[in-house]
Homo-oligomer: A and B are copies of this chain.
Amino acid sequence: MKTIYIGLLGCGTVGTGVARMLTQNQDILQARVGAALKLKYVADIDIQRDRGIAFETGVLTTDAGSVVRDPQVDIVIETIGGLGIASALILEAIDNGKQVVTANKALLASQGNSLFHAAAEKGVELAFEASVGGCMPVIKTLRESLVGNRIQAMSGILNGTCNYILSKITDDGDTFEAALAEAQRRGFAEADPTLDVEGADTAHKLAILTSLAYGTHLNLKDIYVEGISRITPLDIEIAAQFGYKIKLLAISKNRGNMVEARIHPTMIPCDNLLSSVNGALNAIMITGDAVGDILLYGRGAGMMPTASAIVSDVVDIARNLLAGAVGRVPVLSYQRSHIHSIPVMPMDDIISSYYFRFEALDQPGVLSKISGILGTHGISLKSVHQKGRKSEGSVPIVMMTHLAKESNVQAALSEIYRLEVVSDVPALIRIEDANESA
């Protein structure tokens, strides 16, 4: 039986999961692949810690450089993460002709164009199924299963921390701060949760998906990003009364010569399957011209789910090595000559329907002032409600709009906020509803 030699860089949570799967499920992997996947090296700064895996002598090493230089190593797996040494090690592995598997979405989103270029120049693969959606096969689905479809849109719940927090506020009426604290206590959120709750992690993933779906270069900086830290229990409660849930969605739409790519809290109707994705789970809905909507759902993070996606990449590459078919599927879904720079539509230009909540003085004429301003900006209202309790002389006024242009909405809201009768920054949540979409 042939043997494929693997070098693993980084043995934290995910790396340990990969080592565990390659060890514990060795039999089933061999039965499926028809070759042995041998973990030759595990490089980490800490090789003393007990990881519950009986590594053979010589496997554990602190010298990552020797792993990427060993001529016997076929595949290098990078699970170090972050923007530090991971990049240099990946480049050195590529330079030495190794196939590379990584879960490092932050690195791909920021330096992917040059990493993919380096891999293509060297004729090696750079695989990254685990970078988006954990164990969900979203990269493979876009690159292979939907290959005959023009992708029209994607909307995904891609950050388990945010989804856990929003589910907690929804189910238990917690404040954002209390839900975040609980997420941290249960290990669903980092000590510094900024990358998750402010949407940057979701943006890394959306940048990767957008590139694959439409054949465009990675373009992180033009993605609009708004996190969940300003979402209140009141807005979630009102949304529920109208039959909506609030989720942090990564949204991408194919607008022909442009793409939309944006991340923000979004109201979705309860008959949209994404509204039923609760807790730390992830899901993505992909719309193709032939398939309509398809949805993938699963654990978006964690030791073994992430390891599963990494090992699926390792096996894909191993099968290519065994068949002499490296580069069989283009890394970014399209042939290199067909990857273009498709501009991201400026946020000002997107068309959406909206939910607003104004805290306004409970006095005659307020409603007509607010709706008058909206009217002059061409924003047409679908419904107006007075919801929730009066506090300190002001009452919440809730409005839902028909489709409107973001720039008009922002201009109207600034004007409304300047009204003396409006006592707080208006709440704005965009609505995605199949019954009313641009």
Taking beta carbons and an 8 Å cutoff, which residues of A are in contact with B? 17, 21-22, 25, 28-29, 31-34, 129, 135-137, 140-141, 144-150, 215, 271, 273, 276-278, 283, 288-299, 304-305, 307-309, 311-312, 315-316, 319-320, 322-325, 327-330, 333-335, 338
The verdict on A145 contacting B291 (CB below 8 Å), with A31-B215, A32-B334, A330-B32 known, is no
Q: How far is the CB of A284 from chain B (nearest CB, A)?
A: 11
Provide the bound-state CA to CA distance between A147 and B278, in Å.
Answer: 26
Output the residue of A136, A291, A330 with the most chain B CB within 10 A. Answer: A291
- The answer to whether B307 and A290 have CB atoms under 8 Å apart is yes
A-B contact pairs, 27 of them (CB 8 A): A25-B149, A25-B289, A28-B148, A32-B334, A33-B147, A135-B292, A137-B137, A137-B140, A137-B145, A140-B141, A140-B145, A145-B308, A148-B315, A289-B304, A290-B304, A291-B298, A291-B299, A291-B304, A292-B304, A294-B299, A295-B296, A319-B328, A320-B325, A322-B328, A323-B328, A324-B325, A325-B328
Provide the bound-state CA to CA distance between A22 and B148, in Å.
Answer: 8
- The answer to whether B141 and A137 have CB atoms under 8 Å apart is yes
| Beyond known contacts A25-B148, A140-B145: 14 more, CB 8 A cutoff | A31-B215, A33-B335, A135-B145, A144-B312, A145-B309, A145-B312, A147-B315, A148-B311, A148-B315, A290-B308, A319-B325, A322-B328, A323-B328, A325-B328
- The answer to whether B144 and A316 have CB atoms under 8 Å apart is yes
- The answer to whether B304 and A29 have CB atoms under 8 Å apart is no
Stoichiometry (number of copies)? 2
Q: Which residue of B lies closest to A305 (CB)?
A: B291
- The answer to whether A308 and B148 have CB atoms under 8 Å apart is yes
Provide the bound-state CA to CA distance between A403 and B316, in Å.
Answer: 41
Q: How far is the CB of A341 from chain B (nearest CB, A)?
A: 15
- The answer to whether A299 and B295 have CB atoms under 8 Å apart is no
Q: Which residues of B contact A330 (CB under 8 A)?
A: 32, 34
Q: Which residues of B contact A215 (CB under 8 A)?
A: 31
Output the residue of A129, A273, A278 with the most chain B CB within 10 A. Answer: A273
Provide the bound-state CA to CA distance between A322 and B320, in Å.
Answer: 12
- The answer to whether A320 and B328 have CB atoms under 8 Å apart is yes
Q: Which residues of B contact A312 (CB under 8 A)?
A: 144-148
Provide the bound-state CA to CA distance between A145 and B28, in Å.
Answer: 14
Enumerate the 6 nearest inter-chain pairs by beta-carbon distance, A residue then B residue, closest first: A325-B325, A323-B325, A294-B298, A148-B311, A137-B145, A31-B338
Q: How far is the CB of A329 from chain B (nearest CB, A)?
A: 6
Q: Which residues of B contact A150 (CB under 8 A)?
A: 25, 28
Q: Which residue of B lies closest to A295 (CB)?
A: B297
The verdict on A32 contacting B333 (CB below 8 Å), with A273-B276, A273-B297, A296-B296 known, is yes
Provide the bound-state CA to CA distance between A28 and B212, in Å.
Answer: 13
Within the complex, which residue of B129, B146, B271, B298 is in contact with A293, where a contact is CB–CB below 8 Å?
B298
The verdict on A334 contacting B31 (CB below 8 Å), with A295-B297, A304-B290, A305-B292 known, is yes
Q: Which residue of B lies closest to A129 (CB)?
A: B145
Q: How far is the CB of A233 from chain B (nearest CB, A)?
A: 21
Q: Which residues of B contact A25 (CB under 8 A)?
A: 148-150, 289-290
- The answer to whether A335 and B299 have CB atoms under 8 Å apart is no
The verdict on A295 contacting B292 (CB below 8 Å), with A31-B338, A32-B333, A148-B312 known, is no
- The answer to whether B291 and A294 have CB atoms under 8 Å apart is no
Q: Which residue of B lies closest to A33 (CB)?
A: B147
Q: How far is the CB of A138 from chain B (nearest CB, A)?
A: 10
Q: Which residue of B lies closest to A21 (CB)?
A: B148
- The answer to whether A315 and B144 have CB atoms under 8 Å apart is yes
Q: Which residue of B lies closest to A215 (CB)?
A: B31
The verdict on A298 contacting B292 (CB below 8 Å), with A147-B32, A315-B148, A324-B324 known, is yes
